[in-house]
Amino acid sequence: MESYLAELNDAQRAPVLQKDGAMIVIAGAGSGKTRVLTYRIAYLMSKGVDAFNILSLTFTNKAAREMKTRIAKIVGNSEAKNLWMGTFHSIFAKMLRFEADKLGYPSNFTIYDTQDSQRLISAIIKEMGLDKDVYKYKQVYSRISSYKNSLITVKAYFQNPELMEADAMSKKPRLGEIYREYVDRCFKAGAMDFDDLLLKTNELLNRFPEVLQKYQNRFRYILVDEYQDTNHSQYLIVKALSDKFQNICVVGDDAQSIYAFRGANINNILNFQKDYDNVQMYRLEQNYRSSKNIVEAANSIIEKNKTRLEKVVWTANENGPRIVVNRLLTDGEEGRFVAGSIFENRMEHQMKNGDFAILYRTNAQSRAMEDALRKKDIPYRIYGGLSFYQRKEIKDVLSYLRLVINPKDEEALKRVINYPARGIGQTTIDRLTIAANHYKRSIYEIIENLDRIDLKINRGTKTKLENFINMVKSFQIMNETADAFTIAETVAKKTGLLQELKKDGTPEGIAKIENIEELLNGIRDFVEEQKELADVTGSLTEFLEDVALATDMDKDSGDDDRVALMTIHLAKGLEFPFVYIVGMEEDLFPSAMSMSTRSELEEERRLFYVALTRAEKKAFLTYTQSRYRWGKLVDAEPSRFIEEIDDKYLDFMIPQDDYKYKPLIDTDIFGEVDKSKFRQTKPSSGTPPPSHKPTEEQLQKLRKLRPATSPGNSASAGEVIKLMAGDEVEHMRFGKGKVLSIEGAGQDKKAEIDFETGGIKKLLLKFAKLKLLN
Catalytic residue set: 33-34, 225-226, 256, 614
How far is C-alpha 343 from the geometric centre of its chain's CA atoms?
A: 29
By CB under 7 A, what part of segment 244-303 binds DNA? 261-262
Q: Are 256 and 569 in contact (CB under 8 A)?
A: no
Question: Which of 138/598 has CB closer to DNA?
Answer: 138
Question: Which of 103/595 has CB closer to DNA?
Answer: 595
Which of 399-413 are b and which e, b meaning 16 or more Cβ less than 10 Å from the residue's Cβ?
A: bbbbbbbbbbbbbbb
Question: What is the nearest approach in angstroms of DNA to the Cβ of residue 708?
Answer: 23
Beta bridge partners of 760: 754
Give the residue among 173, 165, 103 at the shortest CA–CA distance from 135.
Answer: 173
Under 8 Å CB-to-CB from 388, ≥6 apart: which residues?
394, 515, 518, 519, 552, 555
By CB under 7 A, what part of segment 428-447 binds DNA? 428
Question: What is the nearest approach in angstroms of DNA to the Cβ of residue 455?
Answer: 12
DSSP, res 638: B
CA distance 722 to 765: 9
Give the residue among 276, 287, 221 at the shortest CA–CA distance from 253.
Answer: 287
Indicate the helix (H) or strand (E) that contains 193. strand 191-193
Encoded one letter per residue, x for contact with DNA by CB under 7 A and - for no contact, window 350-379 reads: -----------xxxx---------------
Binds DNA (CB under 7 A): choice among 570, 582, 715, 729: 570
By CB under 7 A, what part of segment 508-567 binds DNA? 549, 551-553, 566-567
Question: Which of 384/509 has CB closer to DNA?
Answer: 384
Binds DNA (CB under 7 A): choice among 152, 301, 424, 636: 424
Q: Is 30 annotated as a binding residue?
A: yes
Question: What is the nearest approach in angstroms of DNA to the Cβ of residue 369?
Answer: 14
Question: What is the nearest approach in angstroms of DNA to the Cβ of residue 268?
Answer: 16
Instruction: Give the C-alpha distances (Å, rounded to integers) separating 768 from 525, 529, 748.
Output: 8, 9, 12
By CB under 7 A, what part of segment 6-25 binds DNA? none
Where does this chain touch DNA (CB under 7 A) — which range of 49-57, 246-254, 414-422, 735-743? 414-422
Is residue 146 involved in binding DNA (CB under 7 A)?
Answer: no
Question: What is the nearest approach in angstroms of DNA to the Cβ of residue 727?
Answer: 36
Question: What is the nearest approach in angstroms of DNA to the Cβ of residue 412?
Answer: 16
Question: Which of 121/313 has CB closer to DNA?
Answer: 121
Where does this chain touch DNA (CB under 7 A) — which range of 14-22, 177-185, 624-632, 668-676? 624-632
Question: What is the nearest approach in angstroms of DNA to the Cβ of residue 550?
Answer: 8
Is residue 738 involved in binding DNA (CB under 7 A)?
Answer: no
Under 8 Å CB-to-CB from 372, ≥6 apart: which residues?
332, 335, 336, 338, 339
CA distance 459 to 457: 7
CA distance 192 to 300: 44
Radius of gyration of the chain (CA): 27
Question: What is the nearest approach in angstroms of DNA to the Cβ of residue 34?
Answer: 17
Question: Which of 99/552 has CB closer to DNA?
Answer: 552
Binds DNA (CB under 7 A): choice among 65, 136, 174, 218: 136
Beta bridge partners of 750: 743, 764
Question: Which of 423/711 has CB closer to DNA?
Answer: 423
3-state secondary structure 34-90: HHHHHHHHHHHHHCCCCHHHEEEEECCHHHHHHHHHHHHHHHCHHHHCCCEEEEHHH
CA distance 367 to 628: 11
DSSP SS3 for 95? helix
Binds DNA (CB under 7 A): choice among 13, 40, 68, 89: 89
CB atoms within 10 A of CB 20: 14
Is residue 138 involved in binding DNA (CB under 7 A)?
Answer: yes
Q: Are 602 and 593 in contact (CB under 8 A)?
A: no
Binds DNA (CB under 7 A): choice among 311, 422, 462, 682: 422
Question: What is the nearest approach in angstroms of DNA to the Cβ of residue 114?
Answer: 4
Is residue 60 involved in binding DNA (CB under 7 A)?
Answer: yes
Encoded one letter per residue, x for contact with DNA by CB under 7 A and - for no contact, window 575-614 reads: ----------------xxxx--------------------
Under 8 Å CB-to-CB from 46, ≥6 apart: which residues?
1, 2, 75
Q: Is 153 annotated as a binding residue?
A: no
Question: Which of 513/768 has CB closer to DNA?
Answer: 513
Is residue 628 involved in binding DNA (CB under 7 A)?
Answer: yes
Under 8 Å CB-to-CB from 676, ≥6 apart: which residues?
none
DSSP, res 264: B
CA distance 551 to 623: 29
Indicate the helix (H) or strand (E) that contains 458. none
Binds DNA (CB under 7 A): choice among 76, 106, 384, 496: 384
Encoded one letter per residue, x for contact with DNA by CB under 7 A and - for no contact, window 451-470 reads: ----------x---------
Question: Which of 486/591 has CB closer to DNA?
Answer: 591
Is residue 87 involved in binding DNA (CB under 7 A)?
Answer: yes
Phi/psi for 512 (5° steps) reads -65, -40
Question: Which of 88/272 has CB closer to DNA?
Answer: 88
Where does this chain touch DNA (CB under 7 A) — which range of 2-10, 33-41, 349-357, 424-432? 424-432
Is residue 65 involved in binding DNA (CB under 7 A)?
Answer: no
Question: Which of 382/765 has CB closer to DNA?
Answer: 382
Is residue 481 involved in binding DNA (CB under 7 A)?
Answer: no
By CB under 7 A, what part of segment 184-223 binds DNA? 194
Indicate the helix (H) or strand (E) that contains 280. strand 280-284
Q: Is 27 annotated as a binding residue?
A: yes
CA distance 704 to 617: 13
Asked if the peptide bond before residue 420 counts as cis, ω within 30 degrees of 0, the response is yes
Is residue 630 involved in binding DNA (CB under 7 A)?
Answer: yes
Q: Is 32 annotated as a binding residue?
A: yes
Annotated binding-site residue numbers for ATP = 27-34
Q: Which residues here bind DNA, judged by CB under 7 A?
A: 60, 87-90, 113-114, 132, 136, 138, 194, 261-262, 361-364, 384, 392, 418, 421-428, 461, 549, 551-553, 566-567, 569-570, 591-594, 628-631
Annotated binding-site residue numbers = 27-34
